[in-house]
A and B are shown apart, each in its own frame.
Chain A
């Protein structure tokens, strides 16, 4: 990507750039990540030498992702870094494996360098997994204490935890509430016994209703329900039922994930996407449309490709990702984004343990030094923002990157604006007509005041988001 002398006058999203000239042949951020990932003994000197990028200053991170990898068993679609405890373990309170892991995790948090001058307390914390609800509340409390003392925790911070039906009772829910956990993400996935069984979930439909009851009686007001569409043998009527029951349960937030068949999972071995017993692409696209329509009618707004919420109940933590803001990541396989560097921790417990030890010895630092390949950054911004209903702010983007690039991007999108896959919005976020868009693009208006945002349409554009985003990548990185 060609860079022009751009000195941003205004903030572009949350990132402030100070761009100077760029050295050619810069190593990519990604390769750095991989490097650190593989050799935990990497020395700071090497890292410094490798980085010759444009310095940027970023906001200090205000979000932390905590990975709690324990599950009773592995679901058939899952390729996350998890630790399966064995199906019998519903009693996990004194499982030494959990205890040891949490201690290790706390050591990681403590060993993390924080030189951010501003005293930015954490605004969001997300316990993901795995099945975090298998972790005893006293250990969750331990983690929160370490986070609080290390980074500070804002009074009204969003603290989310993923919970699976059948892994918690009212008591556990209440205990978590006492720790200021104020958002629950409930992994329901489906409302049909046969589907739950087919995807290897460790719970049945009864536990689902039970869990919903517990949350509604003593859980937080802000809770989300996770569903998976396009499961094997799933029919349109099953999906319709799941959506209806979801809306009836009245969560403030719904996540709908279209099943990804990953290699090296049981599903990956058994099934091929688009082939029986998985729904065809056409059916699967139909499920996506059904969700979009049903949830809209149920009062949910589709604010991201796979996320829906009642007004003002967007997941703040996830919004960090989509806005390309920095965040901490702790625990097995967790990804962090600090100082412009994306870094994924080891996915195996043994390597992760070594990693923590090296971190404590000061041999490692998973922060970038804010030298960032601007093209990489632009691609991330486009990829992430186009996942959301807010879309891409062309004006800010053009100021930080290159106005001509924004024009090129719009031109590449023109056929898709015409076909309705891409929508242009004005400064009041009103949709522009195709003719208005074409007219504005013809005039080569440089400051993008009237043609202010582009977003992918719901559901057509979202459904083909990979196509559309990779098209944008071609413009940004020919």
Chain B
């Protein structure tokens, strides 16, 4: 079910993942880690043991590090990651088959709707395996933590956090689709984190499945041994019995020292209505007990551990977490701002060496967020505050627009991250927002040597007093994998987007692999949609941040009846200004209704008008008859009209419908 559900949801797959290495075939990789770990397993006897645990309560002291495995599943979008996770949770009795909803770990509505994972989630499973040569005595079960990760490049921040708590990863590849851009990126993320990688070729029940081809790709691209790949169908259950034994056999236990003082990594935090701030932690060394006094290495703040436990998969109190275990802590933090992701927590009385943290977040896409109804600012403020409690990767500053009033300028990791943030605001907090055209962070240099970092085009003066002598824009390194017949179209698209080809090769007889340097600006709006449409959906795409490059950039203003609309200003490449200006003006003409006066719409660079349209004045809007004194009906019509006006944004004397703001987002 989970599988079917996901395929149908992936009409809009926003795939991609961070492509980490500059050299593609740098991979004399994993073999050292693939050697079977010290246990030999019988492949057949695996039984869920939840029943016993339930009766006995969960005693985590039974699980020394050598009986613990921490792993994550990484995959290109729709290759079956969440379904596989569902199956593993069922196999271990953690959730009951057919009970919980499909995509168990994707808890957010947005995740279910888009078939993506946004927020990392953890689930602890218990699994019993009888080891070869040890049939005589009953073996205690293993404690296995599945740390689910987002796949998209925008959420690599979440991924690297999750991977920091893992020692291994299942690299899931669709048996028919083979290696895709995100597979590549995910592989390198895991590889760089020194994880043991278990290749899983999934969906082998499909008629078009070609596991041998995929094995060959894995070998040629990542040097993964074909014999190490597991063949599964999470849908039919075929081959799933090999997965847990492989995890136990191949992935090393967590390396921490039980006898050392407590050090734990703060992986994530969220706010719960009832319990307050809940931190997800990985205990690297030592032991954590309920009642302990712990301190943050970053802030020095001390807290008392009020509750501690595991996600099984719901919060399950255990009173203790030991070395190598992953779980949750409730410690009376008032706000998730106190819970710094990547922070090291330790016993208050002992000083420890902090664990290596995470790379700070880099915001690549900025946009203004305004309440659709101006009076809802407080509601939006509240919603954003709450949501950023769960998504610390968004930067938020207040912004004022003459057209849209009070709002926020938000920095995102990427466009999908931005979309998801909007969707969560609407779905989880009922906030209705107008978002301004996303922009990337530009740098402008003036004749006096000063530099301006521009995250909001409106903040860049249209007619600056100082001359701009240079401007820079951020670029990305893009990986594109396509069936070879689309190479021509893709090259055309990339050069239209001012791309520079860096690499072009074939991964097998049918698939081409290309690397481009592209201005981020050209990628953020609709590049991926365009790429999908010219390749009939067969392209896979991923990108990573790269350096700034010099570019001839100009500020494009939109004027209504001569008055600039700050929220519609954009920064574009000079060569594209004419076309973008024309498109914006045409779009606006379509979406602004006739009003009582004529409206002039102009696009301008400085004082130079580059495109112009007019909307003639409304001719009539009159209700002729008040029939039989039926005032109520007429009144309703007028009130509806009033409400319509209220939802519009006013610049000077021009009413702009909200759709106009949304529509111009689509102009590249």
Per the 8 Å Cβ criterion, residues 228-275 of A in contact with B are 256-260
Q: Is the CB of B631 within 8 A of A387?
A: no
Given contacts A416-B596, A421-B596, A474-B642, contact A258 B620 (CB under 8 A): yes
A290 surroundings in chain B (CB, below 8 A): none
B590 at the interface (CB under 8 A from A): no
Q: Is the CB of A463 within 8 A of B620?
A: yes
A441 surroundings in chain B (CB, below 8 A): none
| Minimum Cβ distance to chain B for residue A323 (Å) | 11
Which of A284, A327, A469 is in CB contact (< 8 Å) with B619?
A284
A80 surroundings in chain B (CB, below 8 A): 627-628
Per the 8 Å Cβ criterion, residues 152-176 of A in contact with B are none
Q: Complex Cα distance A419/B622, Å?
A: 18
Q: Complex Cα distance A383/B631, Å?
A: 9
| Minimum Cβ distance to chain B for residue A274 (Å) | 9
Given contacts A415-B653, A469-B638, contact A335 B620 (CB under 8 A): no
Q: Complex Cα distance A414/B653, Å?
A: 11
A340 at the interface (CB under 8 A from B): no
Q: Complex Cα distance A282/B616, Å?
A: 11
Highest count of chain B CB atoms <10 Å: which of A65, A258, A473: A473
B619 surroundings in chain A (CB, below 8 A): 281-282, 284-285, 463
Residue on A nearest B616 in the bound complex, by CB: A282
A258 surroundings in chain B (CB, below 8 A): 620, 622, 624
B293 at the interface (CB under 8 A from A): no
B625 at the interface (CB under 8 A from A): yes
Residue on B nearest A379 in the bound complex, by CB: B635
Which of B627, B629, B630, B642 is in CB contact (< 8 Å) with A470?
B642
Which of A282, A383, A474 is in CB contact (< 8 Å) with B645?
A474
Given contacts A288-B622, A463-B622, contact A337 B631 (CB under 8 A): yes
A133 at the interface (CB under 8 A from B): no
Q: Is the CB of A335 within 8 A of B642?
A: no
Q: Mark B579-609, 1 if CB is under 8 A from A, else 0.
A: 0000000000000000111000000000000
Given contacts A321-B629, A416-B596, A470-B642, contact A383 B635 (CB under 8 A): yes
A320 surroundings in chain B (CB, below 8 A): 629
Residue on B nearest A257 in the bound complex, by CB: B624
A408 at the interface (CB under 8 A from B): no
A334 at the interface (CB under 8 A from B): yes
B646 surroundings in chain A (CB, below 8 A): 474, 478
A139 at the interface (CB under 8 A from B): no
Q: Is the CB of A335 within 8 A of B638?
A: no
Interface residues on chain B, size class: 20 to 34
A13 at the interface (CB under 8 A from B): no
A416 surroundings in chain B (CB, below 8 A): 596
Q: Complex Cα distance A380/B634, Å?
A: 10
Given contacts A258-B620, A379-B635, A463-B619, contact A335 B596 (CB under 8 A): no
Highest count of chain A CB atoms <10 Å: which of B595, B635, B637: B635
Given contacts A320-B629, A329-B628, contact A465 B623 (CB under 8 A): yes
B397 at the interface (CB under 8 A from A): no
Given contacts A421-B596, A473-B638, contact A65 B628 (CB under 8 A): yes
A260 surroundings in chain B (CB, below 8 A): 623-625
B623 surroundings in chain A (CB, below 8 A): 260, 305, 465-466
Q: Is the CB of B624 within 8 A of A305?
A: yes
A205 at the interface (CB under 8 A from B): no
Q: Complex Cα distance A163/B637, Å?
A: 29
B638 surroundings in chain A (CB, below 8 A): 383, 466, 469-470, 473
Q: Complex Cα distance A467/B642, Å?
A: 8
| Minimum Cβ distance to chain A for residue B375 (Å) | 8
| Minimum Cβ distance to chain B for residue A469 (Å) | 5
B629 surroundings in chain A (CB, below 8 A): 65, 320-321, 327, 329, 335-337
Q: Complex Cα distance A306/B642, Å?
A: 22
A462 at the interface (CB under 8 A from B): yes
Given contacts A383-B638, A421-B596, contact A288 B620 (CB under 8 A): yes
Q: Complex Cα distance A243/B595, Å?
A: 29
* Number of interchain pairs (Cβ within 8 Å): 117
Per the 8 Å Cβ criterion, residues 625-668 of B in contact with A are 625-632, 634-639, 641-642, 645-646, 653
Count residues of chain A with CB under 8 A from any CB of chain B: 53
B618 at the interface (CB under 8 A from A): yes
| Minimum Cβ distance to chain A for residue B103 (Å) | 42
Residue on A nearest B623 in the bound complex, by CB: A466
Residue on B nearest A34 in the bound complex, by CB: B632
B622 surroundings in chain A (CB, below 8 A): 258, 288, 305, 462-466
Q: Complex Cα distance A65/B628, Å?
A: 7
Residue on A nearest B632 in the bound complex, by CB: A342
B621 at the interface (CB under 8 A from A): yes
Given contacts A284-B619, A465-B621, A466-B623, contact A335 B645 (CB under 8 A): no
A33 surroundings in chain B (CB, below 8 A): 632
Q: Is the CB of A463 within 8 A of B627?
A: no
Highest count of chain A CB atoms <10 Å: which of B596, B629, B630: B629
Q: Complex Cα distance A467/B621, Å?
A: 7
Which of B597, B624, B630 is in CB contact (< 8 Å) with A344?
B630
Residue on A nearest B637 in the bound complex, by CB: A466
Q: Complex Cα distance A336/B628, Å?
A: 9
| Minimum Cβ distance to chain B for residue A354 (Å) | 21
Highest count of chain A CB atoms <10 Å: which of B595, B621, B622, B639: B622
Per the 8 Å Cβ criterion, residues 443-478 of A in contact with B are 462-467, 469-471, 473-474, 477-478
| Minimum Cβ distance to chain B for residue A214 (Å) | 25
A466 surroundings in chain B (CB, below 8 A): 621-623, 637-638, 641
Q: Mark A6-41, 1 if CB is under 8 A from B, else 0.
A: 000000000000000000000000100100000000
Q: Is the CB of A383 within 8 A of B634?
A: yes
B627 surroundings in chain A (CB, below 8 A): 80, 128
| Minimum Cβ distance to chain A for residue B628 (Å) | 5
Q: Complex Cα distance A136/B627, Å?
A: 23
Q: Is the CB of B631 within 8 A of A467?
A: no
Q: Is the CB of B621 within 8 A of A335?
A: no
A128 surroundings in chain B (CB, below 8 A): 627-628
Q: Complex Cα distance A258/B623, Å?
A: 8
A199 at the interface (CB under 8 A from B): no
Per the 8 Å Cβ criterion, residues 286-317 of B in contact with A are none
Residue on A nearest B641 in the bound complex, by CB: A470
Q: Complex Cα distance A33/B639, Å?
A: 17
Per the 8 Å Cβ criterion, residues 194-244 of A in contact with B are none
A384 at the interface (CB under 8 A from B): yes
Q: Complex Cα distance A257/B429, Å?
A: 47
Q: Complex Cα distance A250/B634, Å?
A: 31
A470 surroundings in chain B (CB, below 8 A): 638-639, 641-642, 645
Q: Is the CB of A281 within 8 A of B620?
A: yes
B632 surroundings in chain A (CB, below 8 A): 30, 33, 335, 342, 344
A67 at the interface (CB under 8 A from B): yes
Residue on A nearest B640 in the bound complex, by CB: A470
Q: Complex Cα distance A30/B642, Å?
A: 17
Q: Complex Cα distance A288/B623, Å?
A: 12
Residue on B nearest A331 in the bound complex, by CB: B628
Q: Complex Cα distance A67/B627, Å?
A: 11
Which of B597, B624, B634, B637 is in CB contact (< 8 Å) with A306?
B624
Residue on A nearest B646 in the bound complex, by CB: A474
5 CB < 8 A contacts A-B: A33-B632, A258-B624, A335-B632, A474-B642, A474-B645
| A contact residues vs B (CB 8 Å cutoff) | 30, 33, 65, 67, 80, 128, 256-260, 281-282, 284-285, 288, 305-306, 318, 320-322, 327, 329, 333-337, 342, 344, 379-380, 383-384, 387, 415-416, 419, 421, 462-467, 469-471, 473-474, 477-478
Top-9 shortest CB links A-B: A285-B619, A473-B642, A470-B641, A285-B620, A470-B642, A258-B624, A466-B621, A257-B624, A281-B619
- Known pairs A259-B624, A285-B619; list 20 more (Cβ under 8 Å): A65-B628, A67-B628, A80-B628, A128-B627, A128-B628, A258-B624, A282-B619, A285-B620, A318-B626, A321-B631, A329-B628, A335-B632, A337-B629, A337-B631, A384-B626, A384-B631, A463-B619, A469-B638, A470-B641, A477-B639
